[in-house]
Structure 1
Amino acid sequence: MTDDPTTPVPTAGPAGPDGPADPTSVGHHRPESLDPKELGFTPQPPVPWLAPMLLLGTGLRTLLAILLGAYLDKRELQGALPSDLHSHDAVDGELWIDYVADLGDGFPATYSMAYLLAQPDLDVAGAGRLRRGDLLVMGGDQVYPSASGEAYEDRCKGPYQAAFPKAPTDRPQPTLYAIPGNHDWYDGLTAFLRLFARRKDASIGGWRTEQKRSYFAARLPNNWWLYAIDEQFGAYLDDPQLMYFEKAAQQLGPNDRVILAVPEPTWVKAAVDHQAYDAVDYFIRTIIKPTGARVPVMISGDMHHYARYAHPDRQLITCGGGGAYLSATHTLPEQITVPPVDTITRNASPRREYDLASRYPEPARSRRYRWGIFHLLPRRNPGFAALLGTLQVLLMLAIAGVIVSWSNPDNQRLFSIPLAAMVLLTLAASVVFAKPPSASGVRNSRHWLLGIGHGVAQIALAWVGAEIWLDLPFVDWPWPLPVVAAAVVYGPVAGLVATQLTAAYLVLASAFNVNVNELFAGQGIEDSKSFVRMRIAADGSLTIFPMAVDRVCRRWRADPGGAPHDPWIVPEQPLAARLAEEPITIR
């Protein structure tokens, strides 16, 4: 019988300062089962993104990070850390780079991507055999929903170590770099720096970590460079970071080309938040442009899909398909202006028009995914259904109490709840849900109208429930039995119906580009994942291979008889990658 790695099991055994003990460091060999005691980490299920406590906790962490970010910002302190500039030579005449982002969610999707990235090569139709990256770049949000040593161990380090436990000795050990996303920042980068930026070189499985800060610059073969910046919630670039890249830029010349990795696709977000792109534009204008070097490729995660905006001089790539829930692609703008027309930045770079050249999943498939919300919303988020059920019970009792008092003022058998308070609470919650305070952009009439409409629909559902409830025999029972019966009998049914009403609202609101993220987050879609594999050839050309994984694996087994560098865990179902679009070559 195959163990189910998605079922959390308490991790036993001693834990070190960076999380649970590494099995390879305590004399253990290849695990013989999927027991967390043998693996050294606990495989986690997907995050229920609309769970009430998670929504509350994430909202509070986001608020605290925004309010206290300047006080918790460890980037200013990183000026005391080594300012190494990294360098990588070609291997067999070429250098291969893998890029994956938004990876630290549920085990099936996260490990599926780690397993594919760890393979010595991938045989891909239309591209041939693509070699494993000599560099692996993690582009942000290496852990969900919030950063901690234990979360990194279970959702990032553990799965990647299991996929590539040891590097072969017949070629140079691949290097792993990481840049922080917003979820990595929720603890002020404490756990991130502990894992990825140690003072001495360390490894995550077969990948060696070299960086000493939350940003880095690496020289690549044939006049290519890799720069990765840390924006800290898109606020600004700190002085130590700017000084670090000013030093790195002293080695740039007119023949050099830079692959710039950033935490967010601000080129897309600037269509709504016109200042989103300012920090990136400032970096390019002040650090890279004076050297004469070019930035032909910018790449980011954060939005959980693959998309490419093209201009003859630059490719803007979003690839956040490393394991987190899928994001929509059918709502992406067909054309963007970068920097945006309405930017208030003085001396901004010349504006360019970029066309949406490709996206994965395809728009038609993205639209079809919308309808899964009706059965996946209650299945993935039972706590959300329970919350709606509780709200419906309170609303129904308040409405029933008013109806009874109208017909018989002496009848006080129902629990009295102020109806006005419940109505205001429902409407306020619906409006906030339509436009969370953490979302970018300005709240406009669409959000108000849709939010109020959703709230009115929930109130109408409770009114219908009250009319039905008053015709049932529970009402004649002595108090407080009617209230108990409402919670036990009415609550679950009303919660399920209210969940379907919310699902219908999400589908409708998405047509107006409202709550699109919640529509997809509520489903927790694990399939349609993506990563990018790049090759710098001997002639100096850069070829980008966007990789699509249509279905992740959900059934795994341990492989105790494998070689030391083989994955500890292997799929029991087909798992393969294909090209999301034709390779892009920059000569």
Structure 2
Amino acid sequence: MFQRQKLTRSKSARTFKGPVAWLFGRQLIAGLKWIGMYAFFGDKLDSRDWMRPEIISRHGEAPEEEAFWFDYLADSGDGQCATYNIAYLCQHDLWLPNENSPPDRDQESKTVSLIGGGGNTFKLPRGEFLFVGGDTAYHIADYTTLAERFQRPFNWAYEDIFGPETRPETRRPIYGIPGNHDYYDALDGFNRQFLKPFNQEHAQATEGAGPQLSLKGFERIQEASYVALKLPYDWWFWGLDTQAGEIDRRQAAFFLSLCNPGVSEATAESKTARKAPDKLIVATPEPTTKFGQWAREEEAIVGTFKKLDLAPSFLKSNAGNLPRSQCRLDISGDIHHYARYWGKGAADKSAHTRANYASVVAGGGGAFLHPSHTDVEEVAENQLYPPRKVSHQLMTRRLLMPWNIFQGGYIWLAGALIALMTYFAAAIPESSWSIFKLIPEEQRPLQNEGSSLLGRIQEALAIEQVNPTKDYGWDLIYALLLLALLSVSALRTRSFFEAAMERGRKAWIWAHYQFIGFHLALFAPIVFFIYWSPGGNPHPFLASLLVLLFLLASLVSLVISRRYDNMLFERAKSHRIIKWNYTPLWILMLFAAVSACYGLWHYGRYPLSVVFSDILTTSILMLTLGGLILFAVVAGGSLHERAGKLWFAALGCWHAILQISVPVLLVIYSSWITIFMVVSGAFLATLLAAWMMTRDSLVNENCLQQKKLGRQLLIIWLLVGVSAMLMAGWGEAVEVTWIRLAAAFLVGGILSCVWFGWYLAVALAFNGHNNEAGGGARLEAYRHFIRFKLTSNTLTGYVIGIDQPVESFPKDKERPRFRLVDVFTIGL
């Protein structure tokens, strides 16, 4: 397969913007409002209810030639150079040595040419249409981002091929379906990019402005966010808009009506004898098979296929099989590399081939590269691009380059603030300092420079002498249990009431009694703690912690009420809502108010400045420790069962310990020379590990070897982390000064890039954090699209790969060649 190669890029006069920053970059931060709105209200803001799709039959006539050609890409609009390359190739004819050219397996073997002749005699003509399979631009596919990262590269490519003027004969239809990044803008940008404009395409309006987001090489004709294309030879192309994997009833009725010619959409759902087209291409925003893992029965995409009477061939029980009378391709993006499961290629192993079914992941339209060496090993892929070896080497090298993590967003700022606030809490406020007393009293500002600003801050956060009692332990236990059980309730409210709705009216009523009784039991102990409060005062930091916990309990109660309100909204579609159904809402809002007031009144006994400082410190530590563990379990362990999730929880815990402890211990106990040695040593050890663990002698295509490499990476990380921690804590406490506070900020920022890169590299080796690792690496290499050839009984896909994007395609010099990644065929 490919050997390690140095990726270089030709230069042009244009300035191409690189991939967006994923690690808390400014584009992501700017879009958090819209992403949050989608997360909270996406289920109610469903634009599909207002759409009226039509069958697009302009491609239905058989061509004069034998074959009909069309193009597919997905996940574009990120790095401008990669998107420009894809745009150039999909608007250009391509050439191969012959019709039966095998895929290019070697590094130097690149047979796809932009011109014929010179041994290239088989033409892959430009597709009759281009289909975009979701996530048109990043982070949010709004108007501005689409214009900059999708429209501009496509128009650049058109101008380089055809000239600056738009020529009608060069235009092709463009179709698309939305992914989650399109939905973050409530499909506003998607509609402007793909729906048929009300004024003529490429014409100037009376006000002087043409249609928005117009592409010079394409025309827009679709009327909804989902499409049905009637193709030659009785083939169909269905583009499904399955938000979060689910399909709405109106869309399902539209596609079901295609299974019953002459049947209206209104009655299509009630028909019992339905038959999907025998020759079908189904495009979805999310893949049916990914990372070598079978789809699970409970996944939403499985339910969508069953609603449309499409056999879920991608389930383990079906093993990629489809009735012999049918032929189907399931294709999607979302994962930014190429992988094919089943189908039939020249180099496929016979056990993995299926003549009439294939599931393809092809998210290489310009977005950053997702690692391709993540593999659960449940189902084997037939083809992968880039190969595992190349993926491991590229990703590990990039992730273990702290400077790259620094450029990828504001991870460094988060680490700097964590270190600064943790050191401040350990040195200045009386309540937090008195817990561990890491710094002797004589080294604190008030004892050395009482008139300085730091000394005055310490004095403002000082507490009059108190003798705290230890009898508030039960209060803490109750507060933690209350918050934990409320969190479980918040997670299970939806599924609990959905199950009750399915069982009928009595079950629905009984579920309310259980729900109300459970929450009454949770809040009842507050009455006990009000009237049987222990004497004396709690420790100041404990008092502030209790205030925070009860405020969080109040917030979670409001979240539960919101989730219950969503269930009432769903039930109102088919049932009458009575006053009794609103009782849980009133109770939860009452509990929210009681919890907040009780926490502030019962435990807010110390100055507001002290309480605020303690709450800020506790919040930062909780978010760091709890957030990184939760991040590891939910995102890192998403492909794993319970044991794997526990392993990732431990990995996240180690990551959090390093992020919190090493910078603070360095600033408290170390001299400037020691600080420099530890930081530079961790930095250099990371770079050395990146070189060692990506050598050709250590890497092969075997997945078991990949796990061995993961264990080696983990051992090195443990050694680096433990060594840094021991050296950081070896010494005497140093006087607290402004320079030390600044050092905490600087050291925390540097080491956060080191530790986060290590965490992603190790997690990736154990099939975790594929998305985050790709976003951290921010690679534009190994992009691809597919040019399809359609005949009466076969569908052949030619996967065209771009190992490294170029910035120009000079016509007066030898043009670059590209890789034929895969050639596969399905048919009857």
TM normalised by structure 2 equals: 0.56
Q: Is residue 138 from structure 1 mapped to residue 162 from structure 2 by the alignment?
A: no
Asked if structure 1 preserves the Cα contact closer than 8 Å seen for 2:415 and 2:751, the reply is no
Give, as a single letter, the amino acid of the residue that structure 2 aligns with 1:87. Answer: H
2:820 corresponds to 1:579: yes
| 2:370 is the alignment partner of 1:327 | yes
The answer to which of 181-190 and 246-255 deviates more is 246-255
Amino acid at match of 1:187: D
SS in 2 for 1:183: helix
After TM superposition, the structure 1 stretch with the greater mean CA deviation from structure 2, 237-246 or 58-67, is 58-67
Question: Are 1:513 and 2:556 counterparts?
Answer: no
Shift of 1:471: 6.7
Structure 1 residue 446 and structure 2 residue 647: aligned? Answer: yes
Residue matched to 2:225: 214
CA distance in 2, matches of 1:410, 1:210: 73
Offset at residue 146 of structure 1 (A): 0.7
Tell me, yes or no, if structure 1 residue 87 matches structure 2 residue 98: no
2:255 alignment counterpart: 245
- Residue 584 to residue 379, structure 1, CA distance change in 2 (3 Å): farther
The residue matched to 1:433 in structure 2 has which SS? Answer: helix
Task: Select 1:223's aligned residue among 226, 229, 234.
Answer: 234
Which residue type is aligned with residue 450 of structure 1?
L
Question: Is 1:412 equivalent to 2:439 in the alignment?
Answer: no
**How far is the alpha carbon of 1:238 from its aligned partner?**
1.7
Map residues 22-171 of structure 1 onto 2, 5 A cutoff: 44-51=17-24, 54=27, 61-79=34-52, 84-89=56-61, 90=63, 92-123=65-96, 126=101, 128-165=122-159
How far does residue 257 in structure 1 lie from its aligned partner after superposition? 0.2
* CA gap 1:82/1:535 in 2 versus in 1, 3 angstroms: closer
Say what the alpha-carbon RMSD is for the aligned residues: 3.8
Deviation at 1:464, TM superposition (A): 3.2
Q: Which of 379, 384, 390 lines up with 2:417 in the alignment?
A: 390
Aligned positions of 1:436-585 closer than 5 A: 444-469=645-670, 482-483=737-738, 486-487=741-742, 489-537=743-791, 539-553=792-806, 555-556=807-808, 575-585=816-826
Residue pair 2:670, 2:733 contacting (<8 A) in 1 also: no
Question: For the Cα contact (< 8 Å) 1:545–1:584, is it kept in 2?
Answer: no
Amino acid at match of 1:282: K
1:153 Cα shift? Answer: 1.1
Relative to the length of structure 1, the TM-score reads 0.77
Contact 2:74 2:363 in 1 (8 A): yes
Segments of structure 1 that go 5 or more residues without pairing to the other structure are 7-43, 337-354, 560-569
Query: In the alignment, is the contact (CA less than 8 A) between 1:395 and 1:462 conserved in 2?
Result: no
Shift of 1:358: 1.1
The aligned counterpart of 1:193 is 191
Give the CA deviation at 1:321.
Answer: 0.6
Contact 2:802 2:819 in 1 (8 A): yes
Deviation string for 1:53-92 (max 9, x for gaps)? 555566654443233123211101103x656555343253
The change in CA–CA distance for 1:211 and 1:373 in structure 2 (over 3 A counts) is same
- The corresponding residue for 2:110 is none
- The answer as to 2:629 corresponding to 1:431 is yes
* C-alpha distance 111-379 of structure 1, shift in aligned 2 (>3 A): farther
What is the CA–CA distance in structure 1 between the aligned matches of 2:259 and 2:634, rounded to whole Å?
A: 40
Change (3 A) 1:472 1:439: closer
Counterpart-to-counterpart distance in 1, 2:308 and 2:97: 35
- 1:528/1:172 CA distance change after superposition, 3 Å: closer
Preserved contact between residue 75 and residue 363 of structure 2 (Cα < 8 Å): yes
Worse-matched range after superposition: 96-105 or 406-415: 406-415
Which has the larger share of helix? 2
Give the direction of change, closer, same or farther, for the CA distance of 1:491–1:139 in structure 2 (3 Å limit): same
The residue type equivalent to 2:238 in the other structure is Y
In structure 1, the residue matched to 2:333 is 301
What is the percent sequence identity of the aligned residues? 25
Distance 1:271 1:207, change over 3 A: same
Which position in structure 2 is the counterpart of 1:352?
none
Residue 230 of structure 1 aligns with an amino acid whose one-letter code is D
Query: 3-state SS of the aligned residue for 2:20?
Result: coil
Letter of the structure 2 residue corresponding to residue 264 of structure 1 = E
How many Å separate the matches in 1 of 2:178 and 2:277?
Answer: 30
* DSSP-derived class of the 2:75 partner: coil
Return the alpha-carbon distance in structure 2 between the equivalents of residues 134 and 299 of structure 1: 18
Rounded Cα–Cα distance in structure 2 between residues aligned with 1:500 and 1:265 = 33
CA apart distance, 1:112: 1.2
Q: Distance in 2 between matches of 1:571 and 1:152?
A: 32
Whether the 8 Å CA contact 2:70–2:128 is kept in 1: the answer is yes
Distance 1:3 1:467, change over 3 A: same
**Per-residue Cα deviation, 1:469-527 (whole angstroms, up to 9, x for no partner):** 56789999998xx335633x453343222211111111112233222321221111110
Identify which range, 210-219 or 444-453, moves more after superposition: 444-453
Report the more deviating stretch, 507-516 or 151-160: 507-516
TM-aligned CA distance change 1:71 to 1:270, over 3 Å: farther
Give a deviation string over 1:149-195, Cα, whole Å, max 9, x none.
12111111222122225699796742211111110111221221122
Using the alignment, how far apart are the partners of 1:287 and 1:308 within structure 2? 18
Quote the Cα distance in structure 2 between the aligned partners of 1:191 and 1:299. Answer: 23
* Structure 2 residue ranges without an equivalent (≥5): 1-10, 103-121, 202-213, 262-273, 314-322, 343-352, 447-453, 459-612, 676-731
State the Cα deviation string for residues 362-414 of structure 1 (Å, max 9, x = none).
11111112321122633532522232222223233444565876522573356
Q: Which structure has the greater CA radius of gyration?
A: 2
Equivalent residue letter for 2:779: I
Q: Describe the SS at the equivalent of 2:741.
A: helix
| Alignment match, 1:567 | none
CA deviations 1:110-133 (Å, max 9, x no partner) are 111111111133446826432111
- Going from structure 1 to structure 2, the CA distance change for 1:160 and 1:209 (only over 3 Å counts) comes to same
> 2 CA distance for matches of 1:266 and 1:499?
35
Deviation at 1:420, TM superposition (A): 5.4
- 1:476, 1:440 → 2: CA distance? 42
Aligned amino acid, residue 86 of structure 2? M
Counterpart-to-counterpart distance in 2, 1:501 and 1:146: 28
| Change in 2 beyond 3 A, CA 1:244/1:470 | same
1:374 corresponds to 2:439:
no
Secondary structure of the corresponding residue to residue 226 of structure 1: strand
Give secondary structure in 2 for the equivalent of 1:248: helix
- Helix, strand or coil: the match of 1:544? strand
The one-letter code sitting in structure 1 at the alignment partner of 2:388 is P
Q: Residue 438 of structure 1: CA displacement?
A: 11
- Cα distance between partner residues in 2 of 1:457 and 1:49: 22
